[in-house]
Chains A and B, each alone.
Chain A
Amino acid sequence: MVSEPKNRISERALTVWRISGSIQTLFMLLFSGGMIGLTVKFEWPNWIIWIAILLLIAYAYLIIYLFPSLKWKRWRYEVREQEIELQRGIFIITRTLVPMVRVQHVDTQQGPLLRKYKLATVTVSTAATIHEIPALELEEAEEIRLFISRLARVADEDV
């Protein structure tokens, strides 16, 4: 059995995901509100209102509470001398290997939310694929970026 990658992403990722989940829920609220408004105005059957409310609650529960927790629990990464290993997924768990020699470039990026919480996302690109490690502590992200870019270059000169 292959063991899990070692490192977890920052715990503040949970907060960030919950906030962005809340923002998404606002859109759902708009939709549900609209549905309820229309139902009242045109005197549609009452069960539509109940369904709209139920949907909203379920959506909020999943996207604000359940999914971020599951996602965070599952997210693991490990950057080693020769390869990067990632594990992610909510229902479907995906494990990915990226050899250092294949890495073409590595970026860190921050949206406004991530910046507020001093987090950054690291993106690793190969010639064919792009891989993302979301919401790492800023210093850690910076460190990883330097580490990968150095190793990627070393590997290239080795050929």
Chain B
Amino acid sequence: MFEPKRLHPITAVLSFFKQLKELFFPFMVFIFLGTRDNEGISSFVLVIGATGILLLLLIKGILSWYRFTYRIEDNELRIEYGLFVTKKRYIPFERIQSLDLSEGILHRPFQLVKVKVETAGSNGIEDAEGVLTAIKKEEAEAIQEIFAASKRMQKDKGLNETEIQVEDNIIYQATPKELFILASTSGGVGVVISAVLAFIFQFEEIIPYERVFKGLEEFVTSGLVFVSLVLFVGFLFAWIIALIATMIKYANFTVRKVGEDLVITRGLLERRQFTIPIKRIQAIRISENIVRQPIGYATVIVESAGGSSVNEESSKVVLLPVIKKSKIQALIEPFLTEYLFTDDFKTVPRRSFIRYLFRGWIYVIPLIIIPILIFKLWGLLSSILFLLVSSIWSYLKYKDAGWDIQQLQLSLRYRTLVKHTVFMKRYKIQSFSFRESYFQRKKKLATVEASVKSGLGGTGGTVIDLNKEDVLEIYKWYSSERRLSPTETNLDTETK
């Protein structure tokens, strides 16, 4: 373990592909621009240039693989790399929050994994973490073992040196039915369709438009039924592709509790593993999108303080991608014992409804006026439709807005397009604000906002137009010095 080691040679190939991917669009632009005016660069020069660049990339990949070594020494992970300037990065084990493993398609045949070292959100420093792009599985397991051992040592300093058995319990495993629901209700379809469109427009010049349009004319005249059928089949196809893609991405979704960490694994072709130390969880969010809500399903997201500027995704981790809402409590409570998943919310007062309604209308006013001006009567009809949709949406927002306090927990519920319920502990809330406009003040209403840490930035919840008295109650609950009974203050001095 102590002698410097290289990564698996496949790293060179991986970094070559990665750079190729980054160069794809500039490359395309270059080629299209080159071919546009014939007197410019000849295609021969183009081909030479392209091969030259590819070759350079390949050499660069190989060299940087050759220069990259890692070793474990003195309870530190020591990485040395750099093409021209040698860089050394030593990461002490006690600063490491977690080791995340993932396997890409190229990793699988060689029994390799990618190891990502997560450090405690080192503020703002760019790529302040280590990535071992491809190492042998046994090797990764050995590193994990050493890391876990040193972590245990830190913990029982002073205590007996007894080997503590690390519990490893499976908490949740996605069933095929849940996977199907997840895939069929996710927004992936839109992504596929827009990707196809974008791809088509990339080759705009190659498409013989005249011929296509002539064909299109014949096509349209062949009957409305046929056209809509083709469109329908097209959408169905896109939907199926999105379905399969999502199912592959989330296949074998498993949540385990290993010691004090939550370990999430998922994926069929590319296997990924996330580790979230439970004590770094800042808030829990339950999101119900518009398709899932009616069938009683929701997504549970964990806001974690981990993650660095490079790795945004480790701050918002999907804990349960799709789950029957009624099951959430029973599933999560055993291991996130601090959180109470109530559904008993105090709602906004009735006098706020008119404000919710008007706020919605403000956005649709241009959409209402323009059709009337242009299309007259038909425009009026579409305007009424817009107004109706906006009103229904506003009503939902009004109905969903709410708050609740249970001992040291603040729960906020609000709707954007998706209905969010955020559960926050008092000692994890970084700051709390309420605000009131002139009109709100007249109606004795106010808006509240609580912020928690998420990755490098903040997130949280905002509920509009709550009863002013309720708002002041939350304010007093959050304040250490403005509250009536000072006895509780001892409970919440714990920091994150």
Contacts and interface: CB of A to CB of B under 8 A. Distances in A.
A129 B495 contact: no
| Main secondary structure on A side of the interface with B | mixed
Interface string B457-486: 111100000000000100110111110000
Contacts of B481: 80-83
Nearest to B305: A127
A2 B453 contact: no
Interface in A69-106: 80-83, 85, 89, 91-99, 101-102
Nearest to B460: A128
B262 to A, nearest CB: 21
A158 interface: yes
B453 A127 contact: yes
Interface in A95-150: 95-99, 101-102, 126-129, 131
A125 B207 CA distance: 55
For chain B, the bracket of interface size reads 20 to 34
Contact of B431 (A82, A131, A155, A156): A131
A79 to B, nearest CB: 11
Contacts of B436: 92-93
Contacts of B279: none
Q: Looking at B430, B451, B476, B495, which has the most chain A CB atoms within 10 Å of its CB? A: B430
B88 interface: no
Contacts of A82: 480-481
Contacts of A89: 435
B430 A128 contact: yes
A74 to B, nearest CB: 12
B151 interface: no
Nearest to A159: B495
Nearest to A92: B437
Contacts of B430: 98, 102, 126-129
Contacts of A98: 430-431
Interface residues of A, number: 28
Interface string B411-454: 00000000000000001011111111110010000000001111
A2 B472 contact: yes
B126 interface: no
B496 interface: yes
B494 interface: yes
Nearest to A100: B480
Nearest to B426: A99
Nearest to B437: A92
A158 B494 CA distance: 9
Nearest to B434: A95
Contacts of A91: 437-438
Interface in B170-193: none
A126 B428 CA distance: 11
Contacts of A99: 431, 478, 480
B326 interface: no
B434 A94 contact: yes
27 contacts: A2-B472, A2-B476, A2-B482, A80-B481, A83-B479, A83-B481, A85-B479, A91-B438, A92-B437, A93-B435, A93-B436, A94-B433, A94-B435, A95-B435, A95-B475, A97-B478, A102-B429, A102-B431, A102-B495, A126-B451, A126-B453, A128-B430, A128-B451, A128-B457, A128-B459, A129-B458, A159-B494
Interface of B: 305, 427, 429-438, 441, 451-454, 457-460, 472, 475-476, 478-482, 493-496
Closest 9 CB pairs of A and B: A128-B458, A127-B453, A94-B435, A128-B430, A82-B480, A126-B430, A96-B433, A128-B453, A92-B437
